[in-house]
Amino acid sequence: MAEVLPTATATPAAQQHSSYSTRVKEDVKERLTSFKSGFRLGELSGSLGDLGTLLPILLSLSLTGQVDLTASLIFGGVWNIVTGIVFRMPMCVQPMKSIAAIALTNKMSMGSVMGAGMSVSAVIMVLGITRTIYLVKRYTPIAVIRGIQLGTAVSFGGKAAELVLKANSFWGEGWDWANNYEWACVTFIIVFLFYYRAKRIPTAIIIFMIGLIIAFIKLYTNPPAKAVYPKIGIYTVSTIVPTPEEFKQGFLSAGLGQIPLTALNSVIALAALANDLFPEKPAGTPTISISIGAMNLIGCFFGSMPFCHGSGGLAAQYRFGARTEVSIIILGALKIFFGLFFGSSLSGLIQCFPTAILGVMLFVSGIELGAVARTVNDGVYDDQKRHANFIVMITTAGMLVGFKNDGIGFLGGMIAAGCFYLAARFGGSMDEDNTGVMVQQDLHPHATTQDSLPASRGSGDEDQSSIRKVPVETEQQPRA
């Protein structure tokens, strides 16, 4: 009689492993397909959209010896690739602007700059790991977030004007063919002529190539004093270990002012904008916080410029055609290549790049970031809340621009939102004569009166409307 062998059955652990392996294979296959389909000129053009912010700060800090240009290019490229793979969207990697501004003003040492970047990143990373950043996001009204974005956009406009004004005037005495208002006008026309065709017409590539050609010609015909020429080779980096005194100076002088800017604009406002632009790929605030922390706790140890993410950079790259992670992966590969084989010798070429063109690119990124402010009242039908949202947003933006501090803008917006909340909760509806608007029941008979104030939408989780979608239509007043 034949012996019956027992049938082998998979254990739960084996089934779980098999299921996990299948999911990994499917994810890799889907990513490869998406990556392959993302190779187009629009993505390459979009990857250059944030140069108006990056190049001036990188050049200024590298020329003064406060950051290492080679390390900044290499690690900036590495973070571009890593964030592209993690977030699967054109998540920007840009300088920590507050640290850069204070470092240049106070002539801080490289060790102090690195200490500032590390200390800020450690705080932001702890907020992400402990999920404490969720509390900031949950209790921040959407109107305050939009106000921060609008204020940052206006600030970008001011900095863009400063870059353009560095160029010489229109044709006349002292006119410089390589950097003048005429180039700014040409760049401005190119951008807005093809504003809604950025995916098909790579305006950023066109503008960047014009600027690069001008920079090459100027560098080899009329170079600035002590100009450095591009030289191919193998460029390496070395470790930078800040002393305790440099850590203290960096954190107290530059780090404290950067923390609110990073937490609000580089984490919370960025997550809101990413969810607006890419609702199918939501970016979690803890993940963004941990990403910022990892970038600088590693990169600053080698002299790299302190980096963060930012809503302005994402808006700029999106405007110039970036729609997938392919754009910043390509940008990251280019940064690593030029960092390894040209390194610090590129400073002369960057120095000759026309500020008039960089200014226009920065201005456009500010416009795209500010455009999201129009969604502050999406889904809100109560006139009192719409009016309050708008006032809170303008208050936040105005204080941010006026005091040149994101923290003060945030504080002002939160106080205004809190006052509106208390007034509505304990004081009833506002007077119609003071606002010139119809009461909520007359304008929107189907809207409920129990809708929460702006603070109830602060988490942003339920606000999935895309700024690219058709605006929400309000209900028409019923005819008598």
- C-alpha dist (Å) from residue 191 to 327, 357, 362, 363: 19, 11, 12, 11
Q: How many domains does the chain have?
A: 1
- pTM score over 0.85: no
Q: How far apart are CA 305 and CA 299, in angstroms?
A: 8
pLDDT at 422: 92
Residue 79: inside a domain: yes
Q: Which domain holds residue 142?
A: 37-369
Q: How far apart are CA 342 and CA 107, in angstroms?
A: 26
252-274 per-position pLDDT tens digit? 888 887 888 788 888 998 999 99
Lowest mean pLDDT among 169-173, 389-393, 457-461: 457-461
What is the dihedral sign for C-alpha 368, 374, 376, 379? negative
* Span 419-433, average pLDDT: 75
359-369 per-position pLDDT tens digit? 898 888 788 77
Highest mean pLDDT: which range of 142-156, 181-195, 461-475 = 181-195
Residue 469: inside a domain: no
pLDDT higher than 80, residue 3: no
Residue 374: inside a domain: no
Residue 42: inside a domain: yes
pLDDT at 245: 94
Counting residues of the chain whose pLDDT is more than 70, the rounded percentage is: 84
CB atoms within 10 A of CB 391: 17
Counting residues of the chain whose pLDDT is more than 90, the rounded percentage is: 40
- C-alpha dist (Å) from residue 293 to 1, 132, 134, 212, 440: 69, 14, 16, 33, 46
* Chain CA centroid to CA 387, Å: 28
pLDDT higher than 70, residue 478: no
pLDDT higher than 80, residue 31: no
CB atoms within 10 A of CB 233: 10
Output the average pLDDT for the chain. Answer: 82
- C-alpha dist (Å) from residue 36 to 22, 39, 331, 372: 21, 6, 16, 30
pLDDT at 426: 85
Residue 26: inside a domain: no
426 class by beta-carbon count within 10 Å (0-12 exposed, 13-18 middle, 19+ buried):
exposed
Q: Among all chains, which residue has been given the structure tokens 């999911």?
A: 23
Per the structure block, which two tokens stand in for 452?
Answer: 């929460």
281 vs 217, more confident: 217
Nearest 10 degrees: CA dihedral of 47, 48, 50, 52?
Answer: 180
Q: Among all chains, which residue has been given the structure tokens 């621009």?
A: 401
Residue 108: inside a domain: yes
Report CA Rg, the chain: 25
Q: How far apart are CA 376 and CA 396, in angstroms?
A: 13
pLDDT at 387: 93
Per the structure block, which two tokens stand in for 334?
Answer: 């280019």
pLDDT higher than 90, residue 78: yes
Residue 240: inside a domain: yes
Residue 385: inside a domain: no
Instruction: Confirm if 354 and 211 have CB atoms less than 8 A apart.
Output: yes
pLDDT at 454: 42
